[in-house]
Structures are given as C-alpha cells and as structure tokens.
Amino acid sequence: MPAKIKNVKKSIYLILFKLGFLFIFFTFFPNSMYAKNIDSTKIKDDWYIESALRYGRIVPNSSGTKLWNINVIGADLRIGKQTFGKSEWEQWFGYPNYGLAFRYAHFSDNMLQDKIACFWFLSGSFVDSRHLSFRYQLGSGLVYFFNYYDPFKNIENVFIGSALNAHIDLNLSLDFTITKQIDLILRANFSHSSNGAIRFPNYGINPISGQLAVRYHFKERAEKIYTIDTIKTFLPKNNLYFTLAPGFKQSKKNYVYDNPDKYRVKTKYLTTTFQLGYLRQFHPKYRFGGGIDIMYSSELRNFFPPEKQNEWKYMTTAGFVSFELLYNRFVVHAALAAYISRSADFYEWYYERAGFKVFLGKNRNHSLGITLKAHAGMIDYIEWGYNFQFFNWNDKSVRILKRFKKRV
C-alpha cells in the first residue's frame, strides 16, 4: 500500500509539474516578444519548405525497459508559413509559424520496423533576434505503422495495437539565420504514438531524438520592423458552456484467457461525456475555468454480475479545473479532474485531459475538438466533442448592470 500511495503521489506531482511548465512556457516567456510589434504592412507572407534528418531512441514506458535498445532514424519534410502580426493573436504569441509536416522513421527492431506520419504544427519563439531564435513547436496528427501487434506474427509488439494511431509532437529548437532565405536548425524532439485504447495492446511508444534541419524561404525575408505600437487593453470575458463528447474503447478488463489472442477481444465499449463548465479569459492568450463531468462507460458492466446490471451504475461524475491557450480559432486544452462518484474503483481517483478544438462561426460560440482522457498518463480513450458557449459576458457588462440596478 505505501508503494502504491507513493506512485500516486509521484504521478500527481508529475502532472502538476507538466501543467505548471506549460503555463510558464506559453504565458510568461513570450511576454518579452510581443512587446516588439512588427509593421506588418511592409512585410509580405513568407512561405518556406524544410527538410530534417533525425536520430534517437525510444523512452521506456510501463511495459518494460526493452525499448531503450531500439534506435530510430528518419527524415521530416515541413511546409510552413511565417506570420508577421497581421492579426492580433500573432502579436500576442510572438509571430509564430505554422504548417504541415510529413515524417518517415525506421526502427532498429523488426517488431516495429517503419512508420509514416502526417501532422500539423505551430511554432513560437522564446527569444527572437536577427540571427538566432530559441523556439518551441507543437504538433498533432496521424501516424501509420507498417508492423503492429499480431497474435501469431508479431506477438512481442504490445506497444502498437493497430496500423493507424494518433501522433503528438513536441520540439525545442535553435534556429540560425544563414542568409535571407536559408536557416539552419538544431532541434530536440519528443513524440508519442498510440491509438487511444481503440484497439489493444496499446502501451504506445515515446521516441526522443535530435534533428538537423535546413529551411528554405521562397522569398527573401524583409528585415523585421519593430514599432512601439501598443496592443489595446483587453477586457476580461466569461463563458458558460456545455460539451458533449462520445467515444469508444476496448478494455483490458475483458480478457478471454483461453483465447491465444487475449488482446483482440472484439467488444467495443461506448463512452460519453457531458460537461458543464465556466471559463474566464482575462488575457488574449489564455483562459482558466472549471466544471462538472458526467460520464457514461459501458465498460463498467464487466464489473457486475448479470443480475446486478444497471445502466445507472455505468455513470460517474467528477469535478475539474482547466486551462486553454487561444491561437485565434485554434485552442489547446488541458484539464485535471477528480472523481466525485463512481460505482467501480479500478482506476486512479483522478484523471487528465489534453486535446484541441477549433472555433466555428462568426461569434465562435461553437467548436469541435478531440481530447485524450488519461489516468496517470496512461490513455483511457479518445473523445470526439462538440462544445457550445451558451452564455457570454464581459466585466464591462457587469459594471453596466450594477449601475442600472443602483439607478432603479
């Protein structure tokens, strides 16, 4: 029991560290950049192409240490666009670049062999000077593995259970300006691949690698012109919203032990989350909030004998706190939650969420998104969500209402 408590505490500290790091990462460091506003009327759009070579290893996960012995080599191709502050969000995030990336990787163990990936990316800078930039990069997309789990041909591969998987990409880089059209880039890369429990086994893999890249800009970059132009004062906003997010998964709790293919149980379990929450945006870049999760999972029927089956027993509730980064219409979302009630105690008492969503419509009250739900870093399932902000107000509206009440 003490060891279990110790592991839970360690997981909580790791989660809090990650969330705190992300907050500092995206909030405080870019402040030194968006004070340098660019006269965007004098600069045209800058498109570029980038190629990179990579070498690294796979970080071991909870399935064992064998992965340390697997090397990975590969190449990336990126097509991107550099922003120059034409929109306000570009200035707040230090003039990021974004685009589409393609990746090929070969693993030294035949258990994994090769993969190809396609993912979007968005990159911003901590420090941006004329000849050197220190940058971060986020990415997410899909990855295809040519050799995945098979109960007869590839039984050792308990890491990748399906051909098509989700891909998450994180980078830190030093970008050296060689000429007005060529950059040389040194990059440290971390990526994660798994299928979100859609098909077992699903331990996933986490390669880390170093990259050497060359970037070519199709046009000569103009000198960045910084002005003292001040971005207008932001008025804090408040939102009430609900989210409906269905999904499905396989379950390790439903093994068929007399079946040689114990991971290939064909049963898929429906999951659905209804979320009611509040968000306060007191800065153009981010907003914080919290709320209630009401979740349904048909997987829970595995824990009750037939005579005690009841759909209400498959419901759980939880409270959460959340943090969002607002890249124009694109939103990066993270949350930490704790269960309030549940009928089966087989997961940790807390869980995490991470994902993204895209605002729709002129008023941006509707959005669609994808979220990973995990317990202590182990992915439980993927949620496909619709979000609606049904009530919005700002601090100015509250002040006007108070003045009106006083007059009445």
What pLDDT, in 10s, does the model give residues 129-147? 878 999 999 999 999 999 9
pLDDT-derived band of residue 256, with 50, 70 and 90 as boundaries?
very low
Residue 386 burial by Cβ neighbours in a 10 Å radius (0-12, 13-18, 19+): middle
Residue ranges per domain, the chain? 33-227, 237-399
How high is the pLDDT of residue 403? 52
Helix then strand count (H, E) for the chain reads: 3, 18
The structure tokens listed for 363 are 């008023």
Q: Of 146, 139, 158, 172, which Cα lies nearest the Cα of 204?
A: 158
How high is the pLDDT of residue 38? 47
Asked if 213 and 238 count as a contact pair (C-beta separation under 8 A), the reply is no
* 295-313 pLDDT per residue, tens: 998 887 777 767 777 777 7
pLDDT-derived band of residue 167, with 50, 70 and 90 as boundaries?
very high
How high is the pLDDT of residue 127? 83
Provide the whole-model pTM: 0.78
Mean pLDDT of 6-32: 47
Quote the CA–CA distance of 128 and 64 in Å, as a whole number: 41
Question: Would you list the DSSP string of 345-382?
Answer: --S-SEEEEEEEEEEESSS--EEEEEEEEEETTEEEEE
Asked if 372 and 196 count as a contact pair (C-beta separation under 8 A), the reply is yes
Same CATH fold, 237-399 and 33-227?
yes
Does 26 have pLDDT greater than 60? no
53 beta partners: 75, 212
How high is the pLDDT of residue 265? 53
Asked if 353 and 334 count as a contact pair (C-beta separation under 8 A), the reply is yes
Number of C-beta neighbours around residue 310 at 10 A = 11
Q: Of 119, 129, 141, 137, which Cα lies nearest the Cα of 188?
A: 137
Does 379 have pLDDT greater than 60? yes
Question: Would you list the DSSP string of 96-146?
Answer: -EEEEEEEEEEESSTTT-EEEEEEEEEEEEEEE-SSEEEEEEEEEEEEEES
Its CATH architecture, for the domain 237-399, is: Beta Barrel (2.40)
Q: Which fold has domain 33-227?
A: Porin (2.40.160)
Number of C-beta neighbours around residue 392 at 10 A = 16
Quote the CA–CA distance of 14 and 254 in Å, as a whole number: 30
